[in-house]
Each structure stands twice: as structure tokens, then as C-alpha cells.
Structure 1
């Protein structure tokens, strides 16, 4: 069904829908990653449902015990809690689909299809609401709610009704019969999945690895709680309240895990997104510093035929170069090449890459390779190869005139090109490989991939060729962009002179302007991740509140007994706040470590497999520590507010009723 190139190389046969299909291929990774980010809400929502249903089950424990005594067996009690979770998920999914549709409509109206990223400015998408997709997302919401109600349902099934009527609480130390090795097993599975290649161009295995890693880390939390708190016991021997809080967490590690599971999940995802976005932004900033070496840039306004048809006139280039205060100018030529009709065309960039000495040696047909391999003004990934040696008997006129017979007799010329990471991944342009670029130069010319460079502007792939090589092959000396290097003593009004000389036909921007616009586009593109982080943290704190409320209700007699033996209301509040601080601190540490592990997967696996470019890992420690400390403070406050119920008179009355 795809178009096939004709043997002449000059024509390309296409179907009417091929252009749209290639555009969809270009935006597919962007759409899939947004969908996966949206599923973060379902993941944290499952933990929120788990916390809420745990609270609900604890509040209604006497009712479940009475139903059990009256004849409701264990399986029926389990099905009852499952039915509640499914009903809760159905109502939430219905409201979520309606709210999500409204938010999608508002986002398209205000930000566009790329959420303000600027990638598809020429496209004004309309809301495409699919009943099938909405039903699918609703089913996912119901499934997440049912999964969140799994363990509370099993806890109700395993309770002893007669003991529960007497006020004995359920033992949470073995939720669902999970063994101690299930968490480490999931972590090992996640590590193995990270090494799998993408499936149909998508990092599906890496997504599953992230989910397995999060679940494995949460299931491993009880073991870490017991081991970590054991080392803190000698430090609190002289502090009774702290020792009481510490020993309870040690004796009931699953209770601490239940209380902090939502915090661990939400904080881990927030940390991972923060590190991923911060690493990408830092890499983009360094990339801009490399690709924008000049002070000013002139660009021809895009014409109807596209950016490559909008050119600067030679007279205007000469005028700019002769202006006082201009040190030198460098032209940049852009062209598109269709190498694979199934994929979007790649961008060919012709710009000066070699020094004058290297260019003279190449033009003279030097037999030895140039030693200046890393002086190209590109953000290279790794080391570049030496410039390819030219056949000694090849006359430069052979290349210019296209005499293929002479070229074949004396050896085909070899031209250096630098491929972007996306070009290397999508089209197999690995380091040292020889390429054929149809329509670029005479037949027989071989293009050698001399280096791989990082290009964040062109996801479809790009090639960079030296401007002199390009002009010699094509006899095309036109340029689309012009880099203007200024002298140290350049006049202050030079920019105004350039704007007057352009006559409004060309766009003039400084490196600072381009940098500011690029980072602004980046921030708008990833603004949705900050909202998702806020939602995840809020849902995690709601889960902490529900978990601590359930713990308070389940321990009313314990708190009443502590008040009977002399613990004051202030001390009781301090005990609950200390437990909240300790548990959320453990959750914050676990979430921080787990989030860093997930961020490594996002940076080094998901991002290269999705967008075919790499970036350096950058850890914004100040932001991460502030995020973790804010979660600890919010969790402590939540526990203190829940402890106010424990310090009330109902706790004392609970002990009297039990006697």
C-alpha cells in the first residue's frame, strides 16, 4: 500500500493518504507517551481506592462481623466488597470520561493538538470523541478500582466474625497471601524488561518494566521497613513515645506499607517525571549552546512551497557581510530528502563544517585522511571518524560535471555526512556506513557517515553535510538561514541596520531570542507533566489520610488504654504525629529511590526508543528534596489531624465498652 520510488529516482508515486500517514507516524510517539502519562492517574487511583476501601472496611467491621454471624460466608463478604469497588469505579469512570472530554476540548481550543508545543502549528485539530475509546478508558477505570479493592476484600474474607464482634482487629501482615519474594521478583523482571527492544517502534516493554518496578518496590517496602527501623531502635531507647511509634512500625510493617503505599507510588512517579523533564531541559539548553554559536540569525520567511524554497538572495548576504561590526557570516541550506516512502522525509543541512585547511586538502584530493575529526560545530555523540579519504586520481571536475564513467574509472568520491541519532535509528545510518542519497550529486557518489550528532529539532532524522561539498555536488549556492558573527566592538545599532536592510522580507533573531522561544515551547509542551505530578501527589496524600483514619479507627481501644494509663491528650497527638512523620519519611525515602530508578528507565530506555535521541541524566537535587520534604510535612499534618479523633473521649469510652 505504500508508495514505491521509481527507478529514475526523480519521481515518487504516492497515494492520496500517504502524507497524512507519514504525519501520523511522526506524532505517534508523542501521542503514545501522553496516553501513558494519563494512565499514571489510573495507577495512583488504584492505591487511592485501596486506601478508601480499607478505611470503609475498618469503619464497618462490626457490620461485616454481624453479617458473618448471621450467615454471610467468607466468599460472599469478599464479593460484596468487590461489588462496592466496581460500583465506585463505574461512577468515577463515568465522571472521569465526562470531565476528560471537557478538558480535551478546552486544551484543543487553548493550546492546540500539541498542547502548545509548537510542533503542529499549521494544524487546527477538532475534538475526535470515540465512543469505543471512551468505553475502553471507562473499563480501565473500573479495573483500577476493582484492583484497589482486591486486598480489602480479601481481608474481609479472612476475618473471624466472632472475634471481630468483640473488637479484635484484622491482622494486616499477610495481605492477599503475598510472599516475601514477590517484590524482589518483580524488580528483577523490571530490570530484564529494560533490555528488550521496542515493539513496532514503541517502548512497550519499558512501560511494563516501569509498572513492575513500582509494584515490586511497594511490595518490598515491608522488608525495608523492618530492616531500616531496626537500626534506629538504639537511638530512641530513652524516648518512650518515639520508641512506641518505632516499635509499632516494626511489629506491623504491612500497616506502615499500607499507609504509605499511595505516597510511594505518587512520589516515585513525580520524582521520575521531574528528573526526566529536568534532564531533557538541561540537555536541550546545552544543545542550544552548541547549535547557536553566532550572535544573530537571519531567516527567510517561509514561502508557500515550504522552508527550503524560502531563500536569502546573494546580494543581501553580501550586504550583511560588508556591514561594519560583522566579523563573518555563515550560510545554512535546508533540503528534504525522501529516503523511505513509508517514513517522513529527512532534512539535509548544508553548513560549514571544516576549517580552511581541511577544505583545501579535500578539494585537492588528499590521499590521507584528515586528522581534524572533532572540530565540527555539532553536538556529537561519541567520537567522530576521520574525514573520508578521496581517490588520488579523481579530478574535482569529475564530481562537478557528473562524469560517472570517469568517477568509476578512478574511484567513486566519498563525501562525509553527519547523521542525527534519529537518522541512525530509523534509516540505519550507523557510524562508518556508506549511504546513497538519491537526487544529491551525480551517480556513484558515496556518502560516509562520519559522525553521529544530537538533533532535538527533527524527530524524523537529519543529515549534515559540509557547505562546500554540497555546493560542489549540486551547484546550489543559495542559503535559507544566515548566522551573523559580530566583532567585539560592533555598533550598538547594528541590529536595527540589519532589520532595515532586510526590508521586512527576512526574520532577524538573536541567539538569546531563539533560546528563550525554544525553552518556552519546551515548557509549554511539558506543562501537562507538572499537572500530573500535582494530581498524583494530591491523590497520594488523600490515600495517607484515608489510611491513617482507618488506623485510628482500628486502634481506638489501644489509644483509650494509653489514656487510661496516663498518656495526656498532647502526648497522644504527638505519638500519632510521630508515627505519621516516621511512616511518611519511610515512604518518601522509598519513593525517592524508586523514582530515581524509574527516571533512569525513562531517560535511557523510554526516551531513546520513543523519539530516537538520547540525553544526559540530570538530577535536580534541590527540587527533589523539596518535593520529598513537602510530602513528609503534609503526611505528618494529616496524621496529626487524624490523631485528634484518637485523643477524643470516644477512645476512652471504647475501652469501657470493651470491659
Structure 2
């Protein structure tokens, strides 16, 4: 705390000491602020994109129905018109407006690709009624560009479709144009009728969204009588707690047992829980990048203390107290954090858009459809990033501030002393303590998480402790570098001088080593995780993808896609004369014990006839029992989420009542972390009243020309994705690498900052050694030899950091695979160490260190001997 009367003194000292130094070293100060800004921007960008991913879960509904207070959906499959009547009857005496909704995915063929859109069918009559009841009867459908047409005119057309202005302008659609869309298993022509008729004035009108009448969409998509969800909206004046409770109670009383009733807050939590593991891991990676950036702040402030030791001693002699000097350095650290944080917030407007696309692709592939690039610059996220930047800077500046405050006046006589030296033994003790902590945390059980999996708090603590342990080992081993490289030092004087600087290393040596170790360790850990994941998934794909051809809707790339292949088309394809054997699979969302997952309908005879699932443990020998509707198989993630195993029973709610299923087998499935429950397809048809298929597997006769067969199907069924075995495997592998794209980017940021830290260390120490450099030049050492001194110092430190980083990466990779991944996602991976990638990582980092050190060392060797700092 600053005492009364100290503020004026601190401001004066800051102007005379801090600001003067910053103006003298403009480039160095600017570089430091930019590095801090980069770390903050990455941290904030991940926070903003995570927030956008959560918001996009319900943003599509908000465009059409405004903010709904309750949502009703089925525990399995779809609702029907009888459910809609029951909800209406239950709320008949309330002022609630009901919006029955049907959701599909539609795509438009582009020149070289296709664009996917969420197509929402909403009851136009209900929308018009809502406008009337909320005193908006005179409002036209917002955005409509067709004159003199009302709701009934649009209904009469039967295929009227609305789109955001951004979508219409990109495709150059004009009102009245007929547009061909891929919808499920067919291509259907829609008529563009204008911009989306917004009900909510604050809704995002730039979403990849299409809207049409519910019943028209149901007829065109062969889903007559089906409803995906009912949105319930109340007038703003009735959204009191008591009225909301009244509506909730009425809905619960009318619930036949197969409804999921969610408030708006609960629905947002559902979307948040689905992506929890992904968001947590991305936040952890971004925090590591921020940590590396603030190690550089620590290094810069330590350099400042060392370079200004005489000035500090003078201030002490003039009566400035120990406490005031400490506050001065902490003030400088806070200002660095504040300014770097502001710059980082500004930079995040660019980096967030870069990361947003990657996060959207991952969320789209694993969870639900989102292509919304709109970022909500929430004050909470911005404030968190800025406060984190200031707090981290103050923490980074604490030890330099302490060193500055302990500088005695007598140090005026020790012009060549370097500050920041620490006892070697303390690092050995820290290494042992953090090693024990990491080992103990490894065995901690996960905390319960909203998504049904666990929060791997023990894994995170263990990984953090491993970082501290590796850095401590490096700090302990650094003083042994001259001894280990003695044969090389005896042959070259420049090597001898460069290595001699590790006999009494200063804090900046350790900080630079720490940043390299952490960055390489983070990258190496992800290399091990990705390599193990790729090996496991590739092996899994080889086993489960064994048919010759696979057929699915072109919109099925999204995990949320509800587009299916109609029974008629599926039967026509499987009846082709070239087909020897075939099977279809059905897939629906299901809510079990309050958690959303998937239920798959398998052709049981095909599972027995063509064994292809990858089983954990022994394959079940009683698959035939699935036909009775009393047995089921589950995926490994399902087992982890619901804590069930072979022999256990699980209850599900269907339109036919409660069903109890006995688990007879567990399969490996890396499609998503929600898990899946597998039952017989015919049984599932009875429970859902749906006979469409999500996919078709075809085994061709031996004499069939594969390419000709695929080409023929593509011509006759242009709305379907017809993939040969090899192509489907390649697509799966591409999606796998796509989901890790953001990880690669975060690793690159961390490595970049660590190399900058290495250069900053060498730069600051070079300036402090001007007297030593001048003496060596006078003794006849050439400029090249002098430059090699700095290069030796940097490369030795880099090499140590790389070796420790790769070892740290192996440890963290083990933790990620067997603790974090298992507890957060429920997947078991086979460990695979890609040594070639690790060696390439080490070589690339060493090469970057060589380049930076050569540039700085060559520059410093040419400085005039008497040049001022």
C-alpha cells in the first residue's frame, strides 16, 4: 500500500528513472510491450472465441423467435403434432407464444465447394399471431423485399425461403429467384422471398441461416408431423420469477415422460457443457503462452535492475527507502502489464478472428453447427485479460523489485557485479518438491463436470508441477555446462569464454532457459498427443471402415446434422445389382439422466455377419439379443460419462414408455466425446417412428468397377456424398488434423515468444558486458570470434532448454493421454512417440536460436567501445 505523501515522490521517481530509461531504449521497450500484447491477445482471443462458440448454440433460435424462456424437445428423436397440442393445452391460460421448430442442414453447391446453412422451419402463423399479441400487428415481416404479400401468400407458395442480407448478397439472390439446395438425400428448389423476417430486433442477422415455414419444410424434407423443438416465449412484462415458475410447473405436469424441458439458462448451460473439455484445454494452452510472455517481463525487469544498480545505489544514498524502491519497480511492472494489456486487447480484434475460424471448424465437426464469426467483445473477458496482464506483470516484477530494494549504497564500488545470482542448491530442492507434487497430483480423481465427464484438475496440477520441475532441473544443471563441454572449450577460446558465463549464471539465464523449456515442452507434449491420437484413430478407422462404398448426406459433416437418407432412397441404393451386401445405420440425439448423447440404430444381422466394430475387451457373444430391445452396446465415452459397464442396466424414456437396456458390449468410438448407445435398428424405428438412415455401407461384388459405380450414383443422387473406402478414410484424417489446427497455432505463438526471450537475454547481457567486450577487442580478438562468444552462450542455453523441453514434453504427453484425455473426453489412446517430429522440433528451435543469437552477437561485436547504453 502506498502511504500518504508517497504518491508524488513515486510519480517523480517514475518520470526520472522509468520513463527516462524507456525513452533511451525505445526499441527494447516497444518489443517488450509487443510481446506482452501478443500473449494477452492470444489469451483474450481464446476467451472470446470460446464465448462465441457458446453463444452460437442458441443464436440461430434467437433470430426467429427472439429470446425464448423455455424449450421443449423429445428425450429421443423428434416431437410430433400431438406433443405440440399438449404443450398448447398446458399453457392455454397463459400468455405464452409457442414456436414449433424444425431444424435441418441445407447446402448450396459452389464452384469448388459447398456452403452449409442451418435451415429452420418455423410456424409462420404462430409468428404472425405473436406479432399481433405483442401489439406489433402493423409490422411487416422485417426485411421482406416482396411488396404486397402477407403470411398466407408465402404459405401458398409452399417453398418460400428467407435468408440474411449477407447471404443473399454473396450469392446475388434476388426476390423471386429459384435456388437449388441439397437437403437430406434430395436436391430441392426453393424460392428466395427476401431477407429473414426478424422478430427479435437485436438478433444477429448475419448468421449462416435460412428460414421457411415449418409445414412447408416438413413436406419437402419428408418429415411431416415431426417437430425438433418447441420454443416458448413470454411477453417481457410477464417474465417475472413467479410467472416463469408457473409456466415451468404447468409444463412439468403435462410432461408425458419423454419431454426435455429447459429454461433459457439451462439451454445455454447445455451448449456450454458440450464444449467444456475443448474450451478448458484451449484456455490452458493460451495461458501457457501468456506465462512465457511474462517470463520475458521478469527477464526485462531483472535486466533493468542489473543495468541500473549504480542509479539504485545513488537513490538509496539520497534517502529513498527500500520500500519506495520496491514500489517503484512494481509500478513499472504494472504499467508494462497495463500498456501491454491495452495493446493486446486491440490486437485481439485481429487474432480472435484468426482463432475463431479454427474453433468454429472444431465445434462444427465435434459438437454442433456454427459458422458465426461474430465476436461479442464482452467486458468481462476484456477485463479478465487486462487484470490478468497487470497481475502477472506485478508477479513477474516482484523478485526484480525485491533485488532492487536490497541494493546497498556500497554497491557503487562494485561496477562489474551482476545481480540475480541464486544458490544452486535451492533449485535442486524445488525440483524434488515439484516432482513429488506432480507425482501425487497424477493420481488425484477428477472433479465432477457439467458435461458428465470429469475435470482433470489433478492432470493440470501434475503438468504444471512438471514444468516447474523441468525448469528447476535446468537451473541446477546450468552451472555444469562448462564442465560437460570442457573438451570443446579447450579447443576454442571463444567457446571457453561463452561457456564460462554459466559458472555464475544470472536470473536472465534461468528465465530464458525457462521460456525455451516451457515452449518446447508444450509443443513436444502436443506432438506426442497428436501422434498417439493419429496412430490410434488410424488403426480404428482401418478396422471400422471396411465396406467398399459409404453413402451419407452432404450436410452430415456437422455433428449436429439431422439430415438423413429417406427409406425409399436407401432401399433403392442397397438394391443395386452391383451390391453384394449392405447395411444402414440410424442416429438420433437422446437425453439420458439429464445428459445429451446419441443413440445409434444398427442392423444387428450385419454386425454379426460383418464384424467390424472395435471392441474394448472381448466382443459380445450375444449380439442377437439386441433384436429383443432389451440389450445394447455403448461406446467408451458413454461408459465414462454414465459410469456404467457390461452387465449394468440403463433406463431411457421413449414415446412407448420407459425402457431398460442391459449393456452387453463396449466399443471404441472417437467420433465425439458425448458417447453413444447402440440398439437394434428395427427396435429404434418403433421408439422414434422414424425409418430414415444416417448412412449406408455397401459391399460390392468382386467384378464391379468401383469408380464407375460411384460416378453413376453421384449422377443419380447429387445431394448425397458417395465415398469409396479410401476417400472416407482420407476425409476422416483431414477432419482429425483440422480439429488440431488451433493447437498448432498456439504452439507456434509459444515458440516465437520463447525465441524472442532468448534474444532479449543475450541483448541485455551484451549491454552489461560492454567493458568486457572492449577489453577483448583490445586484446586482439576478432569480431567474428567475439560474436561466437555470444552464439556459444545462446546455443548452449538453447540446447539445454530443448533437451529438457523434449523430456518435459514426453512427461506431459503421458499426462495428457492417460489423465487429461481420459478424464475429459473418455477416450483410451495408444502411446506413440513420433521421434522424427520431436527431433525436427528441436532442430528448428535450435536453428531459430542460432539466427537470433548470431544477429545480436554480430551487432554487439561492432559497437564502439565507449558508446553509452
TM-score normalised by the shorter chain: which range applies? Answer: 0.7 to 0.9
Deviates more, 1:245-254 or 1:292-301: 245-254
| Residue 290 (structure 2) aligned to one of 42, 46, 49 | 42
Cross-structure match for 2:331: 83
Cross-structure match for 2:800: 586
Cross-structure match for 2:533: 280
Q: Does the CA contact (< 8 Å) of 2:474 and 2:513 recur in 1?
A: no
* C-alpha distance in 2 between matches for 1:50 and 1:117: 40
Task: Describe the shift of the 1:295–1:547 C-alpha distance in structure 2 as closer, same or farther (beyond 3 A).
Answer: same
Cross-structure match for 2:602: 350
Task: Describe the shift of the 1:175–1:529 C-alpha distance in structure 2 as closer, same or farther (beyond 3 A).
Answer: farther
| Residue 293 (structure 1) aligned to one of 532, 535, 546 | 546
> Does residue 266 of structure 2 align to residue 14 of structure 1?
no
Q: Does the CA contact (< 8 Å) of 2:566 and 2:691 recur in 1?
A: no
Give the C-alpha shift of residue 381 in structure 1: 3.1
Give the C-alpha shift of residue 287 in structure 1: 3.0
Q: Does the CA contact (< 8 Å) of 2:604 and 2:624 recur in 1?
A: no
Cross-structure match for 2:448: 200
SS of structure 2 residue aligned to 1:181: helix
Give the C-alpha shift of residue 143 in structure 1: 1.6
* C-alpha distance in 2 between matches for 1:510 and 1:389: 29
* C-alpha distance in 1 between matches for 2:860 and 2:373: 55
* C-alpha distance in 1 between matches for 2:329 and 2:483: 36
Cross-structure match for 2:439: 191
SS of structure 1 residue aligned to 2:262: coil
| Residue 639 (structure 2) aligned to one of 413, 424, 438 | 424
Paired residues in the alignment total 611
Give the C-alpha shift of residue 181 in structure 1: 0.7
> Does residue 567 of structure 2 align to residue 313 of structure 1?
yes
| Residue 665 (structure 2) aligned to one of 441, 451, 465 | 451
SS of structure 1 residue aligned to 2:600: strand
Deviates more, 1:434-443 or 1:83-92: 434-443
Matches within 5 A, 1:411-490: 415=631, 417-439=632-654, 447-465=661-679, 479-490=693-704
Greater strand proportion = 2
Give the C-alpha shift of residue 575 in structure 1: 2.0
Matches within 5 A, 1:100-249: 100-104=348-352, 108=356, 112=360, 114=362, 117=365, 119-121=367-369, 124=372, 126-174=374-422, 180-201=428-449, 202-227=455-480, 230-234=483-487, 236-249=489-502
* C-alpha distance in 1 between matches for 2:820 and 2:740: 16
* C-alpha distance in 1 between matches for 2:563 and 2:474: 60
Give the C-alpha shift of residue 586 in structure 1: 0.9
SS of structure 2 residue aligned to 1:344: strand
Matches within 5 A, 1:617-628: 617-628=831-842
Task: Describe the shift of the 1:605–1:294 C-alpha distance in structure 2 as closer, same or farther (beyond 3 A).
Answer: same
Give the C-alpha shift of residue 123 in structure 1: 6.4
| Residue 527 (structure 1) aligned to one of 733, 738, 741 | 741
* C-alpha distance in 1 between matches for 2:423 and 2:320: 21
Q: What is the alpha-carbon root mean square deviation over aligned residues?
A: 3.7
Cross-structure match for 1:548: 762
Q: Does the CA contact (< 8 Å) of 2:424 and 2:475 recur in 1?
A: no
| Residue 609 (structure 1) aligned to one of 823, 830, 836 | 823
| Residue 710 (structure 2) aligned to one of 481, 491, 495 | 495
Give the C-alpha shift of residue 87 in structure 1: 0.4
Cross-structure match for 2:205: none
TM-score by length of 2: 0.63
SS of structure 1 residue aligned to 2:698: strand
SS of structure 2 residue aligned to 1:432: coil
> Does residue 632 of structure 2 align to residue 378 of structure 1?
no
Q: Does the CA contact (< 8 Å) of 2:520 and 2:806 recur in 1?
A: yes
Say which structure, 1 or 2, has more relative contact order (CA 8 Å, 6+ apart): 1
Task: Describe the shift of the 1:622–1:14 C-alpha distance in structure 2 as closer, same or farther (beyond 3 A).
Answer: same
Give the C-alpha shift of residue 431 in structure 1: 3.1
Give the C-alpha shift of residue 311 in structure 1: 4.1
Q: Does the CA contact (< 8 Å) of 2:299 and 2:508 recur in 1?
A: no
Deviates more, 1:505-514 or 1:575-584: 505-514
* C-alpha distance in 1 between matches for 2:361 and 2:712: 38
Q: Does the CA contact (< 8 Å) of 1:89 and 1:145 recur in 2?
A: yes
Cross-structure match for 1:574: 788
Q: Does the CA contact (< 8 Å) of 1:283 and 1:616 recur in 2?
A: yes
Give the C-alpha shift of residue 585 in structure 1: 0.8
* C-alpha distance in 2 between matches for 1:16 and 1:259: 51
* C-alpha distance in 2 between matches for 1:526 and 1:112: 12
Give the C-alpha shift of residue 571 in structure 1: 2.0
* C-alpha distance in 2 between matches for 1:271 and 1:85: 31
Q: Does the CA contact (< 8 Å) of 1:588 and 1:631 recur in 2?
A: yes
Q: Does the CA contact (< 8 Å) of 1:577 and 1:637 recur in 2?
A: no
Task: Describe the shift of the 1:227–1:122 C-alpha distance in structure 2 as closer, same or farther (beyond 3 A).
Answer: closer
Unaligned runs of 5+ in 1: 358-374, 391-395, 401-412
Give the C-alpha shift of residue 267 in structure 1: 1.7
Q: Does the CA contact (< 8 Å) of 1:431 and 1:452 recur in 2?
A: yes
Task: Describe the shift of the 1:521–1:300 C-alpha distance in structure 2 as closer, same or farther (beyond 3 A).
Answer: closer
Cross-structure match for 1:264: 517
Cross-structure match for 2:311: 63
Give the C-alpha shift of residue 228 in structure 1: 5.8
Deviates more, 1:106-115 or 1:80-89: 106-115
Task: Describe the shift of the 1:385–1:11 C-alpha distance in structure 2 as closer, same or farther (beyond 3 A).
Answer: closer
* C-alpha distance in 1 between matches for 2:774 and 2:765: 14
Task: Describe the shift of the 1:498–1:248 C-alpha distance in structure 2 as closer, same or farther (beyond 3 A).
Answer: same
Deviates more, 1:510-519 or 1:188-197: 510-519
Q: Does the CA contact (< 8 Å) of 2:587 and 2:598 recur in 1?
A: no
TM-score by length of 1: 0.82
Give the C-alpha shift of residue 327 in structure 1: 2.5
SS of structure 2 residue aligned to 1:599: helix
Cross-structure match for 1:99: 347
* C-alpha distance in 1 between matches for 2:535 and 2:309: 52
Give the C-alpha shift of residue 138 in structure 1: 0.9
* C-alpha distance in 2 between matches for 1:48 and 1:230: 28
Give the C-alpha shift of residue 278 in structure 1: 3.5
* C-alpha distance in 2 between matches for 1:9 and 1:176: 71
Give the C-alpha shift of residue 136 in structure 1: 1.6
Q: Does the CA contact (< 8 Å) of 1:53 and 1:152 recur in 2?
A: yes
* C-alpha distance in 1 between matches for 2:544 and 2:689: 26
Give the C-alpha shift of residue 109 in structure 1: 7.6
Task: Describe the shift of the 1:270–1:111 C-alpha distance in structure 2 as closer, same or farther (beyond 3 A).
Answer: closer
* C-alpha distance in 2 between matches for 1:155 and 1:267: 29
Cross-structure match for 2:126: none
Task: Describe the shift of the 1:429–1:247 C-alpha distance in structure 2 as closer, same or farther (beyond 3 A).
Answer: same
Give the C-alpha shift of residue 462 in structure 1: 0.2
* C-alpha distance in 2 between matches for 1:213 and 1:307: 41
Give the C-alpha shift of residue 58 in structure 1: 3.2
Cross-structure match for 1:335: 588
* C-alpha distance in 2 between matches for 1:295 and 1:607: 32
Give the C-alpha shift of residue 245 in structure 1: 3.1
